[in-house]
Amino acid sequence: MRFAHGEPNPKRNKKMATQQINIPDIGDFDSVEVIEVLVAEGDVVAVDDSLVTLESDKATMEIPSPVSGKVTKVTVKVGDSVAEGDYILDIEADEAAAEDAPKAEAKKEEPAKEAPKAEKSAPAPQETKAPAANVPPVPKPVNAQSMGAAYHASPSVRAFARKLGVDLNAVTGTGPKGRIQQNDVEAMIKSVMQGSAAASGQPQGGAGIPAVPEIDFSQFGETETVELGRIKKISGKFLQTSWLNVPHVTQFDESDITEMDAFRKSMKAQAEKAGVKLTPLVFVMKAVVKALQEFPNFNASLSPDGQSIIKKHYYNIGVAVDTPNGLVVPVVRDVDQKGIFDLSKDLMELSAKARDGKLTPADMSGGCFTISSLGGIGGTQFTPIVNAPEVAIMGLSKAKMQPVWNGAEFEPRLVMPFSVSYDHRVIDGAEGVRFTTTVGQYLTDLRQLIL
């Protein structure tokens, strides 16, 4: 387009001015931390685009741009403390626009527990009010760290993430300029719950849980890398899932099993004729089932939505078996309907299949309650991990002779320590103690099992 002689070219004569952007009135705060720098040198911003985000102990606030133009200098970084009037960056703006620009006001957002009123809400960010045709497609998320921030998200999204315990450093933003939106946080939670965090490169173990740092141990000395066995890989995944999802409580107790052990030894000859080996574990299984019948919450599972419990009217007991390849848990079915010789036979068959690696999925499914016995190895007490979706597990430790006061004198008694870990969402502490006390009483006096 040509202009007549002497007529000014508006583009050629348009004057640009560099405007210093300072922190506006932010209330009664002398020093507020910068938690996000949302722009970098060279970025083009519009009026009311957010420049930096500040956070105090009471609220978070975004500092909007009072003018449109190009960012030419940024003088603050994440972690800096600023106050009203502090210089934070330069914007090269049209001189007329700079003169007409209103004084910037911080866009404040109340803490997450109290939503801001609509009539007092701050102007929406540029990307939410711009016409769709003017927003260029984003082929891939932008790394927010290139803009000086650990992540790029609005205060409301950060509040949402804090409420759910999500570490925003582990979330990939799909909004304009890599901005993290609420649906990105929800997608992160969904991926973790579905067990896909490892595939997506996110830390395993749940939202907000940092990964264990990688260390080159060879710098300290000679090392050797040995791959985990298949069983340990599988069981490790389920143990981690149970530990992260179940609020564990462990109740410790002990039981005088002197008479029980004497009875077991007296039945040794009969057991040999039946072709079985009678161990203390079968008596524990019978005592546990009797207690499960009295405390049905222990013989249950929590519904997927966490709003109800599913009580089971069958009694299948899982028994942890130590094998050369790792720990497996075959299930003995219908324990309430079997005698001690039948249970001993089932245990021997399942243990042999476990050691030979011949257990089938059917052999390890359908359990209601699990018993893990370390009594044949040693130890005093331990806290077993609940075998979800079961809600409780018992750990047996090594029995030993102890002096016990009988009211007149000390006498030697065989005492077995044990523990029960349970899901606190289903079982209260008082109920947990009553359960362990009841099991202990049955083991002390087997005659109560027939009452």
Catalytic residues: 424
Question: Could you give the CA distance from residue 29 to residue 82 in angstroms, rounded to a whole number?
Answer: 9
- DSSP state for residue 143 in the 8-state scheme: -
Kindly tell me the burial class for residue 118, based on how many C-beta atoms sit within 10 Å of its own C-beta (0-12, 13-18, 19 or more). Answer: exposed
Kindly tell me the burial class for residue 260, based on how many C-beta atoms sit within 10 Å of its own C-beta (0-12, 13-18, 19 or more). Answer: buried
Nearest alpha-carbon partner for 32 in 53, 13, 18, 12: 53
Q: Which helix (H) or strand (E) holds 25?
A: none
Residues 188 and 118: beta-carbon distance below 8 Å = no
Q: How many CA atoms lie within 13 A of 255 on its CB side?
A: 26
Bridge partners for 323 per DSSP: 326
What CA–CA distances, in Å, run from 311 to 36, 296, 308, 337? 50, 7, 10, 18
Q: Which helix (H) or strand (E) holds 27?
A: none
